[in-house]
Structures are given as structure tokens and as C-alpha cells.
Amino acid sequence: METLIDLEKALDQCRQENDQINEAQILIRMGNYFLGQRKWPRAASSFKKSLEIFEEKKMKAEQAHILAYLGLVFWEQAQVQKAIDSFKLSLKIINEISDVNGQKIVEAILGLSLWRKGDWTESLALLKEVLPIDIASIPDSYRVLHSAIEKAVTQIRNRIPAAQMNNNPLRIMQGHFTLAPLCLYMGQREEANTHLLEAELLAKTLNDEKVLGTIPGLRELVK
């Protein structure tokens, strides 16, 4: 496993040799290292420096990857609108270069980001076009996005029992409502349907008209 010292040495070597392509690749690895350490500003800085090189070299596929990684940095910090903006920029380039497999995963996390923001109608329209996604076909350069979605599923599953212990029906409903599209992305249609039903029951109890108004569209997606 690479250490930060290893990466910094490799980066210095590339800069001494004026090897910008490898410099950018090492910056990506540094960005992912900082992402794993939850050091968001340093992750973003590394990714942005690599993006500058790829823009200068007009390397479109790499630009799309980095913009998606930057979106993930924002996603992890719950800066949802910034994440959406970055995923959209990534998707614009992906469409230009016709990267079908990259398109699917970025569209999926964009749709889930829109759901997280509360733009449920736009999210459903996008997820309807994307899901189900073939997880096995996700390119290696985008696997980190899938890992983030997997982590989100685990985190939200764990929040529901805590909300139940605190007798907080709103948080319970929010958990089920969020898990429905996430589980559908994971290919867990039966669990997605269970969360949908639980969310609907609680939304009726809480008289949450916005959630209830979204349930029919979500049901169409889950069925």
C-alpha cells in the first residue's frame, strides 16, 4: 500500500523530469489517498491540480474522471449542490466522448445526489433512464463512486435503528425514503420495495404531502 511519503517522492521525481502526465496520475492517487483519510481540502487540491494538467493536455476521459472525483469530495462533505454541479460537468464530457459505462455510474450518482437534495422529480426522471445498472461493468476509474454509494447504504441502514430507539418517526421515514432508490441502485429490489412501503406508511402518519406526492413515481421505479 502506498504511503503519502511514497507518493510525495514520486511526485517530486515527475516534476524534476517534467513528466506532467505521470505527475497528474500521481496527483489522482494522492487525491484518493486524502479521500480515504477524510482530508477533503487536500483531496480537492490534488484533484484540481491533476485536472489542470489534463485540461492543458486536452485529455477528455481523464478530465471526466477528475470532475467525478471532485463531485465525490463534495458528496462526502454533504455539499450536495456542488457535487451535482461537478457530476454534471463530468457527464457533459462523458457524453462528448461516448463513454457509455462511465455515463451510467455518473448518471446514477447524479440522480442519487438530486434525491439527496430533495429534487425528487428530476431524480426519478434520471434514475428511470439509468437503473438497473450493471455494477460489474463500472470502469475501474469510476469504482470509487460505487464504493461511496455502498457506504451510504450502510450508513443510512444504521441510522434507522437509532431513530427508532429515539422514537423519531420523521428520521425513520427519511431513512426508509432515502434507502429506496439507493437499494434499487444496488440491485436489491425487494429491500427497496420494503423501504418504500415503510416510508409511505410513516408519511401518511406524519401528513408529509411532499413525500406522499413522490411515492407513486418511486413505486413506478421500484416495481
pLDDT tens profile 177-221: 999 999 999 999 999 999 999 999 999 999 999 999 999 999 998
pLDDT at residue 71, as a whole number: 97
What are 82-89's contacts with CB under 8 Å, separation 24+? 83/113, 84/110, 84/113, 84/114, 84/117, 87/113
The pLDDT confidence band at residue 100, using thresholds 50, 70 and 90, is confident
Count of CA atoms in the C-beta half-sphere (13 A) of 70: 26
- Cβ atoms within 10 A of the Cβ of 191, count? 18
Q: How far apart are CA 160 and CA 61, in angstroms?
A: 39
Measure Cα distances from 128 to 84, 85, 124, 163 in Å. 18, 20, 6, 30
Q: What is the pLDDT of residues 18-73, one digit of tens each?
A: 899 999 999 999 999 999 999 999 999 999 999 999 999 999 999 999 999 999 99
Chain position carrying cell 426519478: 124
User: pTM of whole model > 0.75?
Assistant: yes
DSSP 3-state of 222: helix
Q: How many CB atoms lie within 10 A of CB 41?
A: 10
Task: Yes or no: say if 27 and 8 are a contact pair by the CB < 8 Å rule.
Answer: no
All structural domains of the chain: 8-98 (1.25.40.10), 100-223 (1.25.40)
